[in-house]
Structure 1
Amino acid sequence: MTVVGIGADGWAGMPGGSRAVLRDAEVLIGGPRQLDLLPPECAGERVGWPSPLRPAVPGLIAAHTGRRIAVLASGDPMFYGIGRTLTEVLGPVRVLPHPSSVSHACARLGWPVEDTEVVTLVGRPAARLAAALHDGRRLLVLSADAATPAEVAALLRDRGFGPSRMRVLEQLGGPGEHTTAAATADDWAHPPGDPLNLVAVECRRAPGTERLGAVPGLPDTAYEHDGQLTKRHVRAVTLGVLAPAPGELLWDVGGGSGSIAVEWMRTHPSCRAVSVERDPVRAERIGRNAARLGVPGLRVVTGSAPGALAELPPPDAVFIGGGLTAPGLLDTCWAALPPGGRLVANTVTLESEAVLADACRRRGGELVRLAVSHAVPVGGFTGWRQAMPVTQWAVQKDA
């Protein structure tokens, strides 16, 4: 089997090696749009992808065992394409890439590829774009369809980035290539165009819009909450100790407003988190905060720990922000961690502090007390008002 990339320019834009594979193939698998780009000289049996695609792959390939198979993919098959699915399901396959739409777009715009962030909205919610919004950044948004540019403009306005300049690039590399005139998200009035498009965004934050940085410790005002919120300075310390790395999964136990899980996921697009919260009102609020701050993939589980943890996938790290006195909670979280996994627990109560002191004695790790004071008016002067001190236990499980 060979996976062959094809662009909007179709057969005419393909190199000789890719053409030879397609001519020789006994089975041609792809979407209707890709298959329609092939000339009659590609005489193999044409097979469209079923839906849902991923679970059907093994059976589809097995049905053509012993035949020469060519799979068609848009652009570079290994860039948000079918190539990834095939290699994950079947193992390594031969891939003949074509320039991706991102390469074409950067060439047209004069943007260095390495300095341009790519966000795909194909099969994903538009809310995930919010995590990439930083003043002065250039983004390329891979569109799901013709309606995506208007969705992007609406999200930019809603998140305080209405002055951002947008352009839509359609049918890149093909005879029908077209780029819309630039307009701000505030003024976006272009009607839907070709469904094969991507959106170029030059991010500009509107005056008065709260600045959200790229590291943990977002302003408390960035969250909707009822007071159950790990405050900004403690949150920054907590994420520093949790030390998220790409691809890792966090259990956020006693989610409150979801701030720890949200900022864990914002550190890298591949970071994952599950927030467990027993209060259904707070659980819904966690979902809203996650969508607002660009990580709509945060999974929220409504239930009490440790019972609600039973069916969760194994974590790389655990944060416990509440419920430490619940029987068996700490031991359940510890048992779920793999060697090298991290556990961090915060509390402000004496009862939970005693639980952490005992756990530190048994498991090791480090106990830290975090105290934060804020300057406040005292009559005509200024003094310090101390927030409740937070006791934190942090430990890594030995190999």
Structure 2
Amino acid sequence: MSIIRVSMLADALYAPDEAGNIDVAPFSRAKGKDRRGRGAMRLYKRGARPKPGDPLFAYLARSLQIEAMHLPPDAPVTVMVHGFQFDPATIVMTPPHHHKADNPHARLYHFERHELAREMRAHSTSWPLGLGFANEDGGRDGLCIGFGWYSNPGFFSSLFHHGENFYARAYNNAEVAAWQLVCVLEVLAEILQRPIDVFCHSLGSRVVVRAVAMATSPLPNLAAMHVEPKERWVVRPVLRWLDRVLLLAGAEKVLEAQLMLTHLNGWAAAVRPERRPCFFNVLSRENDVLDKLGENFGPAAPGSKQVIGHNGLEKLDPSWVDIQLDDTDVAAWFLARDYRVSGDDSQGVFAVMDHWIHYTWPDNMRLYRDILRDRDRWSVAGLKSTDPSLFDTLRINRGPGRRGFD
């Protein structure tokens, strides 16, 4: 497959079959393609780590033996995290643009191409192909891991059984999924001992931001004790190897991202790691979906309702860059470098559906692919130093280009 699949529901993590279908039977190492294992695995409580004897560890270790057999030392390893309204328990449908293909392994984590207009309408663009991964190549072009989580709670069941709207409930589900993502990253980092990237869209940013925040939280009950600062932190394998994080149209709250970076900066200052995660936040100011859902239907929280896919980080940090695709000056900057990027555009043919243009537009995906693969050319520090007025600023623009804007 040249892809490793993991799914999560409320009751368990799952090692699905090669198409992404869930087997509800207990995990068995004898099942699955090439006997990599298949079935239901345990969920991990926050703070718990997978052990070598656990099904998750066994499944990922065996899958890496198969899928990373020919993995070059400089090829990317990328974990992909989808957003809102996906159900990994849905039977995989073919072709992937089918309107009922709500299983992320069918709609996003596949290796099929179709007409651009068709993919844009169904937002079913292949993430692996767009990021440069190949099918069944033993990892020669890198390795991708598709992480599926339940983000499609029912409208009425959310109201009547949980007292929440369905988006708020999905947002809260992302908090639960975050630690399971940490566990997956932990095993990958411990086995591979090489940089690992994360690529996510929309509400998947909630999963990713919370995962990094959880992984970088100081140990409880020690902050007030007289111990060395470095001893207050758990130096997890994921923090040693997590490298580039690409956030597309992120639905996570600005305040949550800022708090995550505060944790990360505190950890980095105490531990002084050789590498630390950096964040490429790809946003559009004219993003109607985030305007309506992310800012108005998410759970009530202190501070601003704004989300990172709409307002950016709203502060400067050396490990974070905001890339506003629908800023005409940003688009012109990339066009001069042969990238015809496109963000939300009220005049565009898909209008409100442009929330998904962040990955359905081919040159957007080509940019992300190069960020993951041409690391010397593309870096957070490089973007900030090349044009600070575009990439090291607090100003997110709505309307005409930023240069000369006041």
TM normalised by structure 2 equals: 0.26
Higher RCO (Cα < 8 Å, 6 or more apart): 2
Give 1 or 2: higher helix fraction: 2
Query: Rg bigger for which structure?
Result: 1
TM normalised by structure 1 equals: 0.27
Give 1 or 2: higher strand fraction: 1
